[in-house]
Amino acid sequence: MAAIIMGFIMWTLFGCVMVGLGIGAFFSKKPVAFWANIKVFQVNDIRRYNQATGKLFIVYGIIFIVFGLPLLSEQNSPYILLSVLGVMIETIVLMAIYNLYITKKYEKK
């Protein structure tokens, strides 16, 4: 039982890190990087871009934590598959929202 709780705590900590990144994005004066090791494109409204990216990270972190709740069930529960598949789909949706909406709306032309 202790291992299950420890796993959920680690899962939750990662979700909290994502929420923290989102909160940090709200207060950033420079455009927030979404992709690792890639320079941010020219942004036309830095404050609104950072707010949109911050909201995306915060919502991702909260949903990530919610998807971790099945980890508290018994070890061989079929609901654990829901956590894994849910996070995979959530991550793909996160990338799609960033590329299709945020990038197109705030990219300086």
Alpha carbon distances (Å) from 53 to 10, 56, 64, 78, 81: 24, 5, 16, 33, 28
Q: Provide mean pLDDT across the span 52-58.
A: 97
pTM for this one?
Answer: 0.90
> Total domain count for the chain?
1
Tens digit of pLDDT for each residue in 26-54?
999 999 989 887 888 899 999 999 999 99
Which residue range(s) make up the domain with 14?
2-106
Alpha carbon distances (Å) from 104 to 28, 29, 37, 53, 107: 20, 20, 20, 13, 6
8: tokens are: 């959920």
